[in-house]
Amino acid sequence: MRKIKLLRKKRRNMKLNQFFKLFLLLFLTACVSEFDEREIDYKKEFESLLKNFENSSILNFEKESIENKEFYLSFLEKLDPKKTYFYQRDLDVIKNNKSEGIFENLKAIIDLFYIRYEEALQTRKDLLWSHKFNFEIDEYLPRDPAYYFDNYTEMEDFNRKFLKNSIINQLLDEKDKNVVFSDLRQTYKDRISSLNKMRASDKFGILANNFLSLLDPHAQYFSTRDLENWNLRMNLSFEGIGAILSYENEFAKIEELMPGGPAINSNKINVGDRVIGVGQGDNGRIVRVVGWRLDDIVEKIRGEEGTVVKLQIQNETGNEIVRLERGKVVLEESDASSKIFEKNEQRLGYINLPSFYSDAECLNLSNPYTCKSAGNDVREILVNFKSEEVNGVVIDLRNNGGGFLYEADLLTRLFINAGPTVQIKNSNNEIDVFSTWSTRRAWSKPVVVLVNKFSASASEIFAGALQDYKRALIIGQETYGKGSVQRFETTLNGQFKFTDSLYYRISGEPTQIFGVTPDLELPALLNSEDFGEKKYNNALMPSSIESTTYFSFNNEWGSYIAENHSSRISASPLFTLIDEMKRINENNEDISLKLDERFLIEQERQEKNLDLANLRRELAGKPQFKNYEDFLSYEVEDIVIDEAIEQSLEVLLDMIGRG
């Protein structure tokens, strides 16, 4: 019973979004400065942010355009898009509010939101103790409530249904009912405790980011610490102990240990251990940190490479003080990685690129071609592929949300002779062309670029350029459609990132909104219409510009490859099953709160997941899973059972055969 839940949680954790994992990881990175707790005048900080945005953005934004009730209502809706916290009377107050000042109005809405949020948390916590849930009656939780609450009774009833759905979700994992209630009570206790530990700086960050997102979907506010963490994430390395912390029942808990980090190398710290005290240096006093905010605990743990931190660890065997020397940890799982496949007497290269990363500090100090970066790492892989006599390469950019613009330029140059790679149009309608007539080409054999709906920004620059040059075939789904460029501007106490230009393909066509359309499509589990730049109400709508001068390759693959690809997809039972899974996942009906009915729905989902996994393994010549529990406990899906990669390799074989 309990094992199914643990296995599912384990599998889910393994598939965490890369950005999310890195965000957590940076809680334990080294920063140049200590956390700044000085008093900040947030009204002045907001005015500085607003003034700089008005002067710098490509949006031709004017302050007067947001000094109205409609904008404040949009801000409220941004905080509560699912209508799960606010009352209708809250909107009425905003409509009738006569106070002046943008910051004052936004702050009042933020303060009200946290009152309503705490009310909802407390209501759920109380219901877990006082209400007797009936799982046999027909009732439903609305997926998208149409109205805000009229009164307390409506609010309480919604939260009762919300809780009931949470309970059912855990019961479906075959978890004991008493354990479910105990866990949820602790969860809400922790959430209320964390809420009560919020600082003015936390609320201002939420205010600023929600405000900016209404003006520019890619604008973001950064405190000094936020910016340092963002830079470390892009560098793919940091100084610290190499651990990820989570917060549970007033304790900091070791959630994950990074390979090669000081924590795992000590052999004295394990996942699940609690950190109850922290001391600095060999002679520093251990400070008890139980009940502290997680970021305050992290502030005590972080520090420069070579310095010493002592952790008081609590686990099943008791308490122990562990001495660690902070070190440099490289995030290898986010590097470019490669594999060589043997197929039909051909050697086929595969490169997975999770992001367009770069060590910006190294670039400023050294020869750029010696620094850690996406372009340099892929070049090294291609050089190795040449020595291994590889006949063609697949570049996998699925879920690659972008990164440094110049890395997309550098990567493109590895596959072309010379010429432009991208065009940038700024707020003054001036166009800058990234171009060079000296070549750094590293690969001349066939190329396939694999993309999906979450390939964005720099990924779209690279894929679009290779498509325009007729240098590669693009396979997958239409990409995200983020064709904007952001830069940083300072405020009194921080910085913010905002859109100041749009980029265009060398053909003059935009990727903003439209993305890159693949030459060959692959079915996907997710509905592409539910994601992408076009989903933002305030996304910039671009126009085309003139094509720049470039010379495409003489690659005319004709209809032969497309016909072969279409035949393979039509004949594939795997993609037929994917369509069935898509139907199950796209259920937009209200959520049944009848336990028996939910068990049937969950059983169908599990059967389809198991069928899909076993079909993949059958095609890969691997033994099938006996049951769903076996499927959940299988830790690593081998790369060869990824159907998108398999189809990309088939296309690559066709290209080699026509070359």
Contact 536, 605 (CB under 8 A): no
Please list, in sequence order, all residues whose beta carbon lies within 8 angstroms of the beta carbon of residue 463, skipping any fewer than 6 positions away: 397, 449, 451, 455, 472, 474, 479, 516
Instruction: Tell whether the model's pLDDT for residue 16 goes beyond 50.
Output: no
How far from the centroid of its chain's Cα atoms is residue 635's Cα? 21
Spans of all domains in the chain: 60-215, 240-330, 332-552, 573-646
Cβ atoms of residues 279 and 286 within 8 Å: yes
Instruction: Rank 324-333, 365-374, 579-588 by mean pLDDT and report only the highest.
Output: 324-333
The Cα diameter of the chain in Å comes to: 76
224: CB partners within 8 A, 6+ apart: 33, 36, 493, 494
User: Distance between CA atoms of 567 and 374, rounded to whole angstroms?
Assistant: 35
- Nearest CA-CA partner of 423 in 554, 543, 552, 555: 543
Nearest in space to 305 (alpha carbons), one of 330, 282, 278, 328: 328
Nearest to 457 by CA among 485, 425, 482: 482
State the amino acid at position 43 in one-letter form. Answer: K
pLDDT digits (tens, 9 = 90+) for 551-577: 989 887 778 899 999 999 988 877 777
**Position with higher pLDDT, 617 vs 473:** 473
- Judged by average pLDDT, the poorest of 37-41, 97-101, 168-172, 632-636 is 632-636
Cβ–Cβ < 8 Å for 522, 647: yes
How many Å apart are CA 515 and CA 455, to the nearest integer?
A: 9
CA–CA separation, 659 and 447 (whole Å): 11
Question: Which pLDDT does position 368 carry in this prediction?
Answer: 66
Cα torsion 104, 106, 107, 108: sign: positive
Which pLDDT score, from 0 to 100, does residue 223 have?
86
Does 37 score more than 80 pLDDT? no
Which helix (H) or strand (E) segment holds residue 563: the answer is helix 558-571
State pLDDT tens for residues 231-263.
Answer: 766 666 677 888 888 887 788 899 888 878 899
Residue 527 CB neighbours (<10 A): 11
Domain range 240-330, its CATH number among 2.30.42.10, 3.30.70.930, 3.30.465.10, 3.40.50.300: 2.30.42.10
pLDDT by residue (tens digit) across 273-301? 999 999 999 999 999 998 888 888 888 88
652 within 8 A of 519, measured Cβ to Cβ = no
CA distances from 8 to 63, 425, 519, 595 (A): 49, 47, 36, 20
Q: 330-339, 534-543, 646-655: which has the minimum mean pLDDT?
A: 330-339
**What backbone torsions phi and psi does residue 182 show, to the nearest 5 degrees?**
-65, -45
Cα torsion through 439, 443, 447, 453, rounded to 10? -60
Please report the pLDDT score of residue 161 as a whole number: 96
Q: Report the candidate in 504, 356, 363 with the shortest Cα–Cα distance to residue 432.
A: 504
pLDDT for position 585: 65
What does the pLDDT average to over 146-153? 94
Average pLDDT, the chain: 86
**Beta-strand runs (E) in 290-330:** 308-315, 318-325, 327-330
**For the residues 147-167, what does the mean pLDDT come to?**
96
Q: In this predicted model, which residue has the larger pLDDT, 388 or 187?
A: 388
Is the pLDDT score of 136 beyond 90? yes
- What's the rounded Cα separation, in Å, for the pair 133 and 305? 53
Averaged pLDDT for residues 123-145: 94
Outline where 197-293 has alpha helix (H).
Answer: 200-215, 224-235, 262-265
Can you give the pLDDT at residue 21?
A: 38
* DSSP SS3 for 108: helix
pLDDT at 239: 76
Antiparallel, parallel or unpaired: β 447-451 and 392-396: parallel
- What is the predicted pLDDT for the residue at 56? 82
Contact criterion met (CB below 8 Å) for 592 and 165: no
Residue 465 has pLDDT above 60, yes or no: yes
In Å, what is the CA distance from 294 to each residue of 243, 275, 488? Answer: 13, 11, 28
Q: Strand, coil or helix: what is 312?
A: strand
SS3 readout for 326-343 = CEEEECHHHCCEEEEEEE
Tell me the percentage of the chain whose pLDDT exceeds 90: 54
Whole-number Å distance between alpha carbons of 102 and 48? 13
Per-residue confidence at 311, pLDDT binned at 50, 70, 90? very high
Can you give the pLDDT at residue 508? 96
Q: What is the pTM of this model?
A: 0.81
End-to-end C-alpha distance for the chain, whole angstroms:
55
517/507 Cα distance (integer angstroms): 14
Out of 97-111, 287-301, 379-393, 525-539, pick the least confident: 525-539
Contact 160, 150 (CB under 8 A): no
Tokens of 549: 């001068």
Q: How far is CA 478 from CA 402, 557, 560, in A?
A: 15, 20, 22
594 CB-contact burial (10 Å; exposed 0-12 / middle 13-18 / buried 19+): middle
Separation CA 397–CA 374 (nearest Å): 12
> Facing residues of 343 across strands?
346
- Beta bridge partners of residue 649, listed in sequence order: none
Architecture of domain 332-552: Alpha-Beta Complex (3.90)
